[in-house]
A and B are shown apart, each in its own frame.
Chain A
């Protein structure tokens, strides 16, 4: 399974854009990149998923360079409620035959 590396923690202020980068040097051809968000005392919840280039939804954007060895989650204009742990996962989907591995995540603290 592809191993991911992301910063342990990040600090930001309300209204700023936050970019969290994840390294996944040994990503395989069939692997997708998925980001989850976890609040204290809750299970993780899906934020965004992509394979290459850029993906955007109502919550975030995901930037993936051509070599796919890293990815960047972008959260526009964060608020206090975005304080959470963010996990980057790499794993094969499509066939549904491969479990995803969670790393330690990035703890984002948003200040007023």
Chain B
């Protein structure tokens, strides 16, 4: 069955380190998204991509970067981790270009920055 996976599921790192969170989908979806969710709050969009080599900034993109070299993967990099980036990170994908569109979410990655 097609799916969307994230790795690692849990990560502890130190302030200033570079961290990369992986997201892989097997639906062959054009669109991929990264969100962060802080405790007790809704999801905020970090970056998104509408296809290979396309990336766009979301509402909270500072300190994060993404690259889209193939359809299946959209890794999220924290260039220099900060304690304020402690959060749960969700990756999502959608088909794109259809009349009714659903985003499918991964299980999330819990990141703790010490």
Interface size on A, residues (CB 8 A): 24
Q: Could you say which residues of chain B place their CB within 8 Å of the CB of A96?
A: 30-31, 50, 94-98, 101
Is the contact region of chain A dominated by helix, strand, or loop, or is it mixed? Answer: loop
Contact of A44 among B59, B100, B105 (CB under 8 A): B105
B100:A49 contact, CB within 8 angstroms: yes
Separation of A34 and B99 alpha carbons in the complex (Å): 12
Separation of A67 and B10 alpha carbons in the complex (Å): 45
Q: Could you say which residues of chain B place their CB within 8 Å of the CB of A99?
A: 33, 45, 48, 56, 58
A93 touching B58 in the complex, CB below 8 Å, given contacts A43-B108, A102-B35, A103-B42: no
Q: Could you say which residues of chain A place their CB within 8 Å of the CB of B31?
A: 96
Interface size on B, residues (CB 8 A): 31
A100:B107 contact, CB within 8 angstroms: no
> Could you tell me which B residues sit within 8 Å of A by CB distance?
30-31, 33, 35, 41-45, 48, 50, 56, 58-59, 90, 92, 94-108
Instruction: Tell me the total A-B contact number using a CB cutoff of 8 A.
Output: 65
Is the contact region of chain B dominated by helix, strand, or loop, or is it mixed? Answer: loop
Q: Of A43, A49, A101, A105, which is in contact with the most chain B CB atoms at under 10 Å from its CB? A: A43
Is A41's beta carbon under 8 Å from chain B?
A: yes
Q: Could you say which residues of chain A place their CB within 8 Å of the CB of B56?
A: 99
A104:B42 contact, CB within 8 angstroms: yes
Separation of A91 and B4 alpha carbons in the complex (Å): 22
B100:A41 contact, CB within 8 angstroms: no
A49:B102 contact, CB within 8 angstroms: yes
Q: In chain A, residues 32-70, which have Cβ atoms closer than 8 Å to a Cβ of chain B?
A: 32, 34, 36, 41-46, 49
Q: Could you say which residues of chain B place their CB within 8 Å of the CB of A93?
A: 98-101
